[in-house]
A = this chain, B = another copy of it.
Amino acid sequence: MDNFTFYAPTYFDFGRGAEAHVAELVRRFGGSRVLLHYGGGSIKKSGLYDRVKSVLSEAGLFAAELGGVKPNPRSGLVYEGIELCRKENIDFILAVGGGSTIDSSKAIAAGSLYDGDFLDFYHGKAKIERALPIGTILTIAAAGSEGSPNTVITDEATLLKKGTKSDVLRPKFSILNPELTCTLPAYQTAAGATDMIAHVCERYFSNTEETEITDRLCEAVMKTVIYEAPRAIREPDNYEARANLMWAGMLAHNNSCGVGRVQDWASHHIEHELSALYDVTHGAGLAVIMPKWMRYVLEINPDKCVLFATRVWDIPLNEENPRETALAGIEAFEAFLREIGMPSSFAEIGARAEDIPLMADKLLGGRKTEGNYVKLKRDDVIKIYENAL
């Protein structure tokens, strides 16, 4: 196990009706002038928007608002949010929505207290030292941004999808009411579950030795998602399935599964190029890429693939041919993704073979390799894309 630090000071309020506590939580964490940041019409249709507005206003909290966050959130709206925060002297950002809305809020929170271009943080030109406090009301169990220090934004000028992180971006509070996710369509539920498994796999596939505790935690979260996602898709109103998925999604990305080990993140970065070019749902893109990445690395570094098969998919270990065991695990993962309705090829997500060299170049951005479990060169990345055609 490697040395690490872990600091996850988000206050979670989990359960039915928890959004009723939002004003009290904003005040507890020092907010008085709130930017209410959200996506499209779904929170208006569900009545959540009205409930939140009225709780804030009854508590005497000022609320400016900025809607319109899109999946794969864009830099343009972040600039608007920063301007609005400055104009209205905002001291707290409340994100109501899924990972895109929370990631956009984090960008606004850091950008508002920075004199330069907020994209400096995402292009590695500056480090986030300060940010406005953030709270969230989560409506999609997927990205884990409600408990993570991470944010991903698409630079509209270049269509580069870039991430950054800082402990100051961890939300002060996150309200997780599983009821709010019951209206989520099957496809988005499945894409969310895929994203959760991918967040865990990026940590699980590691060459760091002697990581029993975090291996086991990774497996716990993956097994939960594998059990609960099909239930939530079959029975959208199943509160218990939604609740277990929602908490698993937070754990998948708050790094409790990833401390003390070198992480990979190649699949995420390979997928980011698909999302940036074709505006693919992130989880759906991961469903296409992740198993192809596994099949590719299996031939080079099989150990963790074998563990993934035996412990996560309950494949009996074939001691004479562990590669067969590992392959059966990947096949079980692929079957699971098919079962929940996820795509498995470029054709299904509208991606094009001719863009592969461009995506590989954008992904590497001058670096020699991508990922850690296996260090992938440009040729390897291209082969993984090609295997997904």
Q: Which residues of A contact B (CB under 8 A)?
A: 1-16, 18, 209-214, 216-217, 219-221, 223-224, 227-228, 240-241, 243-244, 247-248, 251, 256, 259-260
CB-based nearest B residue for A257 = B220
Residues of B within 8 A of A213 (CB): 220-221, 224, 244, 247-248, 251
Residues of B within 8 A of A256 (CB): 256
Asked whether, in the complex, the Cβ of B223 is within 8 Å of the Cβ of A216, the reply is: yes
Q: How many copies does the complex hold?
A: 2
Residues of B within 8 A of A13 (CB): 5
CB-based nearest B residue for A174 = B6
Picked from B3, B5, B14, B216, the residue with its CB within 8 Å of the CB of A11 is B5
Residues of B within 8 A of A5 (CB): 11-14
Asked whether, in the complex, the Cβ of A14 is within 8 Å of the Cβ of B7, the reply is: no
CB-based nearest B residue for A228 = B212
28 A-B contact pairs sorted by A residue (CB < 8 Å) = A1-B15, A1-B243, A3-B14, A3-B15, A3-B18, A5-B13, A6-B11, A6-B12, A6-B14, A7-B9, A7-B10, A8-B8, A9-B11, A14-B259, A14-B260, A15-B260, A209-B240, A210-B241, A210-B244, A212-B224, A212-B227, A212-B244, A213-B224, A213-B248, A214-B247, A216-B223, A216-B224, A220-B220
CB-based nearest B residue for A15 = B3
- Chain B: minimal CB distance from A302 (Å): 22
CB-based nearest B residue for A225 = B213
Residues of B within 8 A of A8 (CB): 8-9
Residues of B within 8 A of A223 (CB): 216
Residues of B within 8 A of A243 (CB): 1, 210, 260
- Alpha-carbon gap, A224 to B210, bound state (A): 11
Asked whether, in the complex, the Cβ of B1 is within 8 Å of the Cβ of A244, the reply is: yes
- Chain B: minimal CB distance from A15 (Å): 3
Asked whether, in the complex, the Cβ of B3 is within 8 Å of the Cβ of A16, the reply is: yes
A-B pairs, 3 with minimum CB distance: A3-B15, A9-B9, A210-B240
Q: A212-B224, A259-B14 are contacts. A240–B7 as well, Cβ < 8 Å?
A: no
CB-based nearest B residue for A256 = B256
Residues of B within 8 A of A12 (CB): 4-7
- Alpha-carbon gap, A18 to B6, bound state (A): 13
- Alpha-carbon gap, A292 to B228, bound state (A): 34
- Alpha-carbon gap, A214 to B241, bound state (A): 13
- Alpha-carbon gap, A256 to B8, bound state (A): 12
- Chain B: minimal CB distance from A85 (Å): 25
> A16, A210, A240, A251: which has the most chain B beta carbons within 10 Å?
A210
Residues of B within 8 A of A227 (CB): 212
Residues of B within 8 A of A251 (CB): 213, 217
Asked whether, in the complex, the Cβ of B209 is within 8 Å of the Cβ of A220, the reply is: no
Residues of B within 8 A of A211 (CB): 244
- Alpha-carbon gap, A224 to B9, bound state (A): 25
- Alpha-carbon gap, A303 to B1, bound state (A): 35
Residues of B within 8 A of A260 (CB): 14-15, 243, 247
Picked from B3, B219, B259, the residue with its CB within 8 Å of the CB of A220 is B219
- Alpha-carbon gap, A11 to B6, bound state (A): 6
- Alpha-carbon gap, A224 to B1, bound state (A): 14
Asked whether, in the complex, the Cβ of A1 is within 8 Å of the Cβ of B259, the reply is: no
Inter-chain pairs besides A5-B14, A8-B9, 19 sampled, C-beta below 8 Å: A1-B15, A1-B240, A1-B247, A4-B15, A5-B13, A6-B11, A7-B9, A7-B10, A7-B11, A209-B240, A210-B240, A210-B241, A211-B244, A213-B247, A213-B248, A214-B247, A216-B219, A217-B220, A219-B220
- Chain B: minimal CB distance from A66 (Å): 28
Picked from B4, B10, B18, B216, the residue with its CB within 8 Å of the CB of A221 is B216
